[in-house]
Amino acid sequence: MTAGHSAAPEAAGTHTLSPGVFAWVQPDGSWWINNAGFVIADDHAVLIDTCATETRTRALLAAVDQAAPGTPIRYLVNTHLHGDHTHGNSLLPATTMVIAHEATREGILADTVIDGCPPIWHPVPDWGAVTRRAPDLTIHTALTLHSDSHRIELHHPGHPAHTNGDVIAWLPGTRVLFAGDLLFHRVTPLVFMGSLEGALRSLDWIASYEPQHVVPGHGAVIDAHTLPTVLEQHQAYYRLVLATAQKGLRDGLTPLEAARTCHLGPFTDMPDAERIVLNLHRAYADITGHAFDLPQAFADVITFNSGPLRTGV
Ligand SMILES: [Zn+2]
């Protein structure tokens, strides 16, 4: 990856959402290139997610230090288990308490991708010097951090959506919502480890907070004016996946065959459009009750894509 590319680590930057509340946005939001965030209190900082690689996480930590020089990060919240949001956990000092949903802790402990990425992506990501670091404190429904003037509420939707352990961070005082991967902004949504119906339900749940600013897990920050459109796009996409799966099952097609019949319409040109194959595998599993076949799903998405999936991580 050369410097100056739209997905280069140097393209990442801090966005001030309100006093002391920041988004860390990494263009272009495609595979493994996530968003994070941080809140600066009087004598400590709260970090929301890390990044996939040592390089990208160190840039995030430098941004926190630039916003509040020398301020220790007391808490790290992981919005879900995926490595693009958690691989950098081990770069935080031992004094940082890592908080996540119980299912996220289980997922991080079970994840082997951090030990060496399989050649599903190209180039094969190099994580750098990171090791598996599971959350110290786990929640099932909700938890509130009282960081001086900042009330930071962590909420689980109550059902699987992007994953089984999604958590949002909601700051009612400034109406900022860190959505994790419940939202992808102009990037193809991914629900293969969650639930299509659950992801659909999570959209109304996010809207119910009436946020002013939403930090999606991938893509540009969303404001209150654009949120309805973004939610409608997610709804349309999830409904397309479900309808394609229902028709595919009726017609006796495999998820890969169904993906090839699917007209993605407005989603055709979004980054990571090949995720339709993974999402259809999830929809098939949800509808039929059969187990989700992860190796087959990844074999199929590589076939569909005519090769490993592109990443600029
Ligand atoms: Zn992500």
Cα–ligand 1 centroid distance for 149 (angstroms): 29
Task: Say what the pLDDT of residue 6 is.
Answer: 80
Cα–ligand 1 centroid distance for 170 (angstroms): 18
The tens digit of pLDDT for each residue in 162-185 reads 999 999 999 999 999 999 999 999
Cα–ligand 1 centroid distance for 243 (angstroms): 25
Cα–ligand 1 centroid distance for 34 (angstroms): 5
Phi, psi for residue 10 in degrees, rounded to 5: -65, -15
Rounded Cα distance between 202 and 231, Å, is 10
Homologous superfamily, domain 3-226? Ribonuclease Z/Hydroxyacylglutathione hydrolase-like (3.60.15.10)
Residues of the chain where predicted confidence (pLDDT) is lower than 70: 1-5
Task: Say what the pLDDT of residue 149 is.
Answer: 94
Residues 6 or more apart in contact with residue 300 via CB below 8 angstroms: 254, 255, 256, 259, 277, 281
The tens digit of pLDDT for each residue in 300-309 reads 999 999 999 9
The tens digit of pLDDT for each residue in 121-146 reads 999 999 999 999 999 999 999 999 99
Task: Say what the pLDDT of residue 225 is.
Answer: 98
Task: Break the chain into its structural domains and give their ranges.
Answer: 3-226
Task: Say what the pLDDT of residue 231 is.
Answer: 98
Strand order in the sheet with 36-40: 13-18, 21-25, 36-40, 45-48, 73-77, 97-101, 137-139
